[in-house]
Structure 1
Amino acid sequence: MNERQQGGKPVKEMGTLGGEHLPYFGPARAVRAKAWAQECSQSAGGVSLALAERHLDRRLCRPVPRSSPPTVADIIGRALDKVGAYNELSNKEHVVALVDEEMCINCGKCYMTCNDTGYQAIDFDAKTHLPVVREADCTGCTLCHSVCPVPDCIRMVERKTLYMPKRGIPVASTSPVP
């Protein structure tokens, strides 16, 4: 998982300020900035320096590949064992989207994609304007994950409840089809 950042810079996770999560945009941005400035002044800048040093250490100490890059011949056919028929898939293994509120930049792409495809499983919180995924309505299609511009902001996690598709017509419908 990538390091949490906003605007290309690493950020310290503030967690909850005053008992509620605050996003990195809108009026909450000023509250976060004030809390960060207060924490930096209390630590004489130590908090800010520690964050910057940790970020630099990660950037300067990138892992070196153990071997040479693979050739095209090495790559061909690697995924063949992962390709199969639909009936080989398990209907019990479903996933749902989980949005990381610390990394969300509030672009709304996940919301638009989910609504435009007809699932309508993502709402925006009225106060923080952060996306909230309703697990009961999420089909696990991963479209929101695909369109999100922030890497690792939306993760697909295992569904906790049994998925019951809503297709409009009950399974045991007795009404005649016109």
Structure 2
Amino acid sequence: MGTAVIEAVTGDITIEQVDAIVNAANSALLGGGGVDSAIHRAAGPRLLAECRGLRETAYPDGLPVGQAVATGAGWLPCTWVIHTVGPNWHRGQRDPQLLSACFTASLTVACDLGAVSIAFPAISAGVYGWAPTTVARLAVEAVRAHPRLAELELVRFVLFSPPTRRAFDGALSSEPA
């Protein structure tokens, strides 16, 4: 253990060879659009079954914004999927602390599981309407400030588009706050 490598790549989060991937889920946890849909499709029916189980037990009203919960990964090459619900800009959820909480809570869950590598998408930067530069800045700040970062070896931001990748590259090249 030591200093985690924090990096950004353009790619497909469903093929990442890491311990855990983060799903930008909706509160229902039952699949949706974007990365959520891609993860559910690639993971197969076991992921949906585990998510249904969470809804029936721990989260009957859905997973709240900014919180995170883990499931197995089904057919994915990782061990766990960590689901977090980002704030939706279009619905007036514009508190940056809610977005930062998604990254913080996901890292905490990963560390609690014993994961040493994790891949994140750009939570809330897609249909939820947050500017990629804002998501990148908040994500990188949250990761760098996480009290258990030394427990991890790799934190990778896996980004779908080159413009979002550039936003994350910019945030990563900035001096820590």
The TM-score normalised by the length of structure 2 is 0.26
TM-score between the two structures when normalised by the length of structure 1? 0.26
> Which has more radius of gyration?
1
More strand by share: 2
Per chain length, whose mean CA-contact separation is higher, i.e. which structure has more relative contact order (CA < 8 Å, sep 6+)?
A: 2
